[in-house]
A and B are shown apart, each in its own frame.
Chain A
């Protein structure tokens, strides 16, 4: 078990180190996140609608698009350099590779969420409610589910000639539960509603995340095997 964890940690470390050194994905995701917020400013007539009412939905759509942009490239660098062969033939079990990719993607998307929350606060003065700890919990659980699904499908779309064009078609139908319950929960937290009103959504998000992560861990080996 400790060997397995060390192997996973090694891949996570490699991915994050590459990300720190090149900053490729993070720069693209961060820029997209801020630019989407800018476009929303012009896309919504703020004389008609109060932005705060839409806050949860806007933030979630931004996270989804920004996250998808970066995660579509999860296996890109390995494929371009042929390093995927080395990774697949290494003694790390295939599910370990999947979990490592989930963890490194989770870190990236979490950073994007911080950028998104900051950008929306800066541009629109959004009120994020009183319970920031609960907000972090909801975002964390939902993000893990989002990342678990997207990482698996990034491995699939990387092996097609449609590439990243295919990714949204494959993941959006499956991500609807994340959007429904994520937006409901965060919207209520923003409105400082009592915890009881958030619990139901949080449990459903957790259930989705557990199913997605388990299925991804089991199914990943069939996607990448040679």
Chain B
């Protein structure tokens, strides 16, 4: 894909995403009904759940592109993995800050050592390690491979996260949308707001992803250009 095309995509996705976030906030503040037991703080849910979704999506992309990079050794896959991991780190930080804000009121404590909380925090640290290894590797190519290895291993944790939720009944709210047996248990207007939140956050993520990918593309071109310069003169 050409650089101009990537930029164009990033812009379109970004504009749509920001518009989506504005609509989302209007809905959250003025339109959607207030949940009966938790009251007004439940509205954090519309930011928390989409950021959690994007975090998992990003880490999935990092792992898949990392695995594919190890196999095919195409630089573009490494750019994609790295771009997604950075997005995941940022949205993971949103998830990990919005969650305790909500829990401080709803559960009466900002943090509990509930399995899903614990493992998402740990997954976030795995990706901190991802960037530390990249940055400190003595050999750049080895750094890319080792980061990919960490990405793949980190994603192996995601099934464990899910299993731990299913096996340990706990404080964390049970799934209300992807509930296989009863279908969505959310009220109509809440479901619509959540869906718009998911859409908006996903669009913003892919916009940032494209920008970041484009940056790596430019660095690559620059590296080639500076390498070829001596030959040209």
Chain A interface residues toward B at CB < 8 A: 152, 156, 159-162, 166, 169-170, 172-174, 176-177, 208, 211, 215, 219, 222-223, 225
Within 8 A of A (CB), among B111-143: 118-119, 122-123, 125-126, 128-129, 132-133, 136-139, 142-143
Interface 9-residue window, one of B74-82, B85-93, B146-154, B174-182: B146-154
**A223 CA to B153 CA, complexed, in Å:** 13
Closest 5 CB pairs of A and B: A173-B122, A160-B136, A173-B125, A162-B136, A170-B129
**A170 CA to B137 CA, complexed, in Å:** 14
Which residue of the partner chain, among B133, B139, B153, contacts A174 with CB atoms under 8 Å?
B153
**A152 CA to B154 CA, complexed, in Å:** 13
Q: Is A161 a contact of B148 with CB atoms below 8 Å?
A: no
A225 cross-chain contacts in B, Cβ below 8 A? 145
| Interface class of chain A by DSSP | helix
A215 cross-chain contacts in B, Cβ below 8 A? 152-153, 156
Q: Known A173-B122, A222-B70, A223-B146; judge A156-B153 contact (CB<8 A).
A: no
Q: Known A170-B150, A173-B126, A215-B156; judge A222-B145 contact (CB<8 A).
A: yes
A177 cross-chain contacts in B, Cβ below 8 A? 160
| Interface class of chain B by DSSP | helix
Q: Is B148 a contact of A222 with CB atoms below 8 Å?
A: yes
B122 cross-chain contacts in A, Cβ below 8 A? 173-174, 176
Question: What is the distance, in angstroms, from A78's C-beta to the closest C-beta of chain B?
Answer: 15
Which residue of the partner chain, among A161, A173, A208, A219, contacts B138 with CB atoms under 8 Å?
A161
Q: Please, which residue of chain B has its CB at the minimum distance from the CB of A165?
A: B136
**A156 CA to B137 CA, complexed, in Å:** 9
Q: Is B142 a contact of A176 with CB atoms below 8 Å?
A: no
Q: Is B133 a contact of A160 with CB atoms below 8 Å?
A: yes
Q: Known A162-B136, A166-B136; judge A219-B149 contact (CB<8 A).
A: yes
**A169 CA to B128 CA, complexed, in Å:** 9
Question: What is the distance, in angstroms, from A95's C-beta to the closest C-beta of chain B?
Answer: 14
Q: Please, which residue of chain A has its CB at the minimum distance from the CB of B71?
A: A222
